[in-house]
A = this chain, B = another copy of it.
Amino acid sequence: MASRITRSPGIKDVAALAGVSASTASKALNGTGQLREETRVRVREAAEKIGFIADSRGRALASGRSFTVGLITTDSSGRFSIPIMLGAEDALSAGEMALVLCDTRDDPLREHHYLKSLVARRVDGIIVTGRRTEQREPVDVPIPVVYAFSPSTDPRDTSVLVDDSGGAASTVQHLLSLGRERIAHVTGPESHLSARIRATATSRAAAGAFTGEPLYGEWSERWGRHAVDVLLRTHPEVDAVTCGSDQIARGVCDRLRELDRSVPGDVAVTGYDNWSVMAMASRPPLTTVDMELEELGRRTANLLLDAIAGSPHPGPLHLPTRLIPRESTLGT
């Protein structure tokens, strides 16, 4: 309400109430200078009484740090960068660091402008993230940077990444352990690195059980439905389909049901992403791979804090995924 928007109590108000000079009040609250303990106590009590809050910019200027980190994201739709951002924010806030959000909307000029502005604000470091797992050009700033999800092309930069090969292999190992012997793979566009990496890891892990060629298409339910028609025409013997995303897997399940093939009875299906609105709404709910992006955000933030403290960890770091088994492979 309007009446709450009043001037905050200042150091002079504290000093007046405690009966000391502003400079003495400041020393008392900062724990500096040569003061009697009773003076310090009186000043602290006065500050408490009138609700004085110290200006943390003073601490920042004195230390040469701003206790602020910038996050550059290209991903305004947010599927992947939002959980990373929330994980980073969680880790940083525990250390009293603020996270400044910069959404470049995939515009290089906008990114350049943000970087200049963050440096001018004297942020202590920058997290750079994006929507694709392809490498990206490093940013050129005189402060520590850590890349999350989208790695830097410079192998000496710190990049925190998802182990997509391991994630794809984990679905195959799960299916083999359930006795499946003819495993197909349906995924997104071949132009996407994540689709290629997952397809390669799937066929390698399945070895002799791999059936047909990876079916590249788009990241959509519609493609999942269509791919079932292709698969059943070319490889009707298939008993499992691993998919590059939960959306594709949901489409695969829907189409198999429409054709009276039971999931997982006739064909087991796995997704990728553990995107709950897809994975849980699918009939049946999807066995899938969780990329643990919030944890990736936390790790990124902690590696950046290390770099700010003078202990960088150069090079890429691949974090493990987690397999989430549900009815689409286990049945009910």
Query: B6 touching A142 by the CB < 8 A rule?
Result: yes
Copies in the complex: 2
Taking CB atoms, residues of chain B closer than 8 Å to A117 are: 56, 96, 98
Say which size band chain A's interface belongs to: 35 or more
- Known contacts A57-B66, A156-B2: A121-B142 contact under CB 8 Å: no
Query: B2 touching A314 by the CB < 8 A rule?
Result: yes
Contact with B along A75-103 (1 / 0, CB 8 A): 01010001001100110010010111111
In this assembly, does A264 line the interface, its C-beta being within 8 Å of a C-beta of chain B?
no
- Known contacts A60-B57, A120-B56: A5-B156 contact under CB 8 Å: no
| A101-154 interface with B by 8 A CB criterion | 101-103, 105, 114, 116-117, 119-122, 138, 140-144, 154
Taking CB atoms, residues of chain B closer than 8 Å to A105 are: 90
Q: Which B residue sits closest to A70, measured CB to CB?
A: B98
Query: A312 touching B5 by the CB < 8 A rule?
Result: yes
In the complex, A61→B60 CA distance in Å?
12
Query: B116 touching A53 by the CB < 8 A rule?
Result: yes
In this assembly, does A207 line the interface, its C-beta being within 8 Å of a C-beta of chain B?
no
Taking CB atoms, residues of chain B closer than 8 Å to A239 are: none
Residues of A within 8 A of B (CB): 1-2, 4-8, 53-57, 60-61, 66, 68, 71, 76, 78, 82, 85-86, 89-90, 93, 96, 98-103, 105, 114, 116-117, 119-122, 138, 140-144, 154, 156-157, 220-222, 247, 277-278, 281, 307, 312, 314
- Known contacts A2-B314, A98-B117, A121-B56: A247-B93 contact under CB 8 Å: no
Query: B120 touching A53 by the CB < 8 A rule?
Result: yes
Query: B57 touching A61 by the CB < 8 A rule?
Result: yes
- In the assembled complex, 7 residue pairs joining A and B whose CB atoms fall closer than 8 Å, in A order, are A1-B157, A4-B138, A5-B143, A6-B142, A8-B119, A78-B78, A98-B117
Taking CB atoms, residues of chain B closer than 8 Å to A138 are: 1, 4
Question: Contact partner of A82 among B78, B142, B143, CB < 8 A?
Answer: B78
In the complex, A166→B272 CA distance in Å?
39
In the complex, A7→B7 CA distance in Å?
38
